[in-house]
Structure formats: C-alpha cells, structure tokens
Amino acid sequence: MISSFPGGKKKPVATINDIANEFIREEIEEFLERPDEIARFTEMFARARPAMQDIAAALIDGDHGTVDELTASALAGGTEALEIMDDALIAGMGIVGIKFRENFIFVPEVLACARAMKAGMTHIEPILSDSGIEPIGTVVMGTVKGDLHDIGKNLCIMMLRGAGFVVHDLGVDTSEDEFIEAVEQYQAPILGMSALLTTTMPNMGKTIDAFIDEDLREEVKIMVGGAPVTQAFADDMGSDGYGKDALACVALAKQFLEEEDEEFLYE
C-alpha cells in the first residue's frame, strides 16, 4: 500500500498481509489494540525475513525447543546474529510484553517466552561476544535492587563484549553496595544499570547517590537503561547517559572511553 505524505513524497506502508507468518498475523490481529502498536509491529514483521518471523512466532508461543532449532539453522544458513536478535528475538518479545501488559498472558507464560528467548540467545551470544580484538575497557553491569529482569541487560552485555569490552555481570537484584564494591574491585571506569520496573527505577538514583556519598562519583561514568527509563529520568537522577537499546549501550560506553582519553590529554 502507498500513502501520501506532505511534500508529495510517497512512503510504502506495510499491511498485515505483508507478513508471511500466519501465527504472527493472528497475534497482531487478536492481541494488539493500540493503532500505533499495530502499525509498529506490522511494519517490523513485514520487513523481517520469513525465517525471522518463524523464530519470533515460536518465541511468542513459548516454544524454546523450536527457537533453539530455528536459531541454530538460521545461523548455519548465514543469517547475521544481529538480524536474529533484532528481527526475531526482540521483536517477538515485544508482542509478549504487550500481551502481558494487557493481561492476556501471565507470569508463567512470560517465563516460558523468556526461556525461549534465552534458547535463542545461547546461540547468538558466542558470536556477538567474540570480538577477537584486544579488550578496550572494563564495564560493570547489573540490574538494580528489587528487579529480576535480565534479558535486556544480558543483550547489552553480549554486545559490549562483542565490541571488545570486558564486562563484569553482577546479575539481578544488585544492591548499591554491590555496585560500589564491583567498580572498586575491577577498577571499572564504566557502570551500567538496568531497571524494568517503575518501582525499581529510583534505585538507580539511589546507587548514584551512594557513589557520591563514598566520594567515588568522579571515578566512574554511569549509564542507565531499561524499558521504562527515559532520557529525562536519566538526566534527573544524575547519570552520565541513557541508552534505549543494546546498540546505544555500546555507543555510550565507547563515548565514555573517548571522553576519558580526552580528559587525560588535557590534564
């Protein structure tokens, strides 16, 4: 379908029939209600290759065995790990998130989908993490206190390792003291915090305050992320940067390294 845009420009707009996978089409039609989300996911899946749509469908279905098999065969067939991560795993998890939000599915189903996501990530992790280059910097990463969500954090870690960073993963439910101890122990110039709950987001700010109290704030650049986090929130709590996804996380970490080099030069 073609729609008109101001200035006479034509931009193709995907329709549900442009999506090859029938299961995905049905999921969008049955569970998505908001027009912006219908448009976003229709567009996203219409441009994803059918094999990626099949992986996403298995993930939404919580079928980790099929995700495992299809991911392995896509990689063997030459598909890039990044394409699988974005067009299959993250896209599929997006639909799961909406179904969970709207109470169409509950924690046990989401856990099955998370397990399926991990089955796919197990194959792509060694590829994205294996940069084969000299380590360029050290990062400490963790999900904040009270929060057990780790899928997004783990994707960021994979990408950081792939870009050449040494990453110390503190896991989930990480206290302020644990962040401080790890930064000191590993002499890490960069700290990344993840939060997925509006109730745990303030723990990022509390951790930053704890670094200030210990007189360590100047020693470390702090980046934050997670679905509910915004640039405004990140600025407000006094972080050094916010990243909306794993690519942005890597870009931020690299930018911090450059800034560190510049500070060193002008000292």
Q: Which residues sit at the interface with ligand B12, rule CB under 6 A?
A: 90, 93, 96-97, 100-101, 107, 110-111, 114, 146-153, 155-156, 192-194, 196-199, 223-228, 243, 245-246, 248-249, 252
Q: How far is the CB of 67 from ligand B12 (least distance, A)?
A: 14
Q: How far is the CB of 22 from ligand B12 (least distance, A)?
A: 23
Q: How far is the CB of 9 from ligand B12 (least distance, A)?
A: 30
19 or 204: CB nearest ligand B12: 204
Evaluate whether 182 touches 140 at the Cβ level (below 8 Å). yes
Q: How far is the CB of 4 from ligand B12 (least distance, A)?
A: 33
Please report which helix (H) or strand (E) contains residue 225, including its range.
strand 221-225
Q: How far is the CB of 128 from ligand B12 (least distance, A)?
A: 12
Amino acid of residue 54? D
Residue 146 CA to residue 123 CA, distance in Å, equals: 29
Token pair of 53 as six digits: 């749509």
Displacement of CA 62 from its chain's centroid (Å) = 19
State the CB neighbour count (10 A cutoff) for residue 236.
Answer: 10
- From the list 201, 65, 192, 170, the residue with the least C-alpha distance to 122 is 65
Amino acid of residue 139? V
Evaluate whether 207 touches 220 at the Cβ level (below 8 Å). no
3 or 103: CB nearest ligand B12: 103
Residue 164 CA to residue 151 CA, distance in Å, equals: 20
76 or 232: CB nearest ligand B12: 232
Q: How far is the CB of 93 from ligand B12 (least distance, A)?
A: 4
44 or 249: CB nearest ligand B12: 249
97 or 202: CB nearest ligand B12: 97
212 or 227: CB nearest ligand B12: 227
118 burial (CB, 10 Å; 0-12 / 13-18 / 19+) is middle
78 or 93: CB nearest ligand B12: 93
Angle between helices 64-76 and 50-60 (to 10 degrees): 160
Angle between helices 176-186 and 202-213 (to 10 degrees): 50
Q: How far is the CB of 142 from ligand B12 (least distance, A)?
A: 9
End-to-end, the C-alpha distance of the chain in Å comes to 58
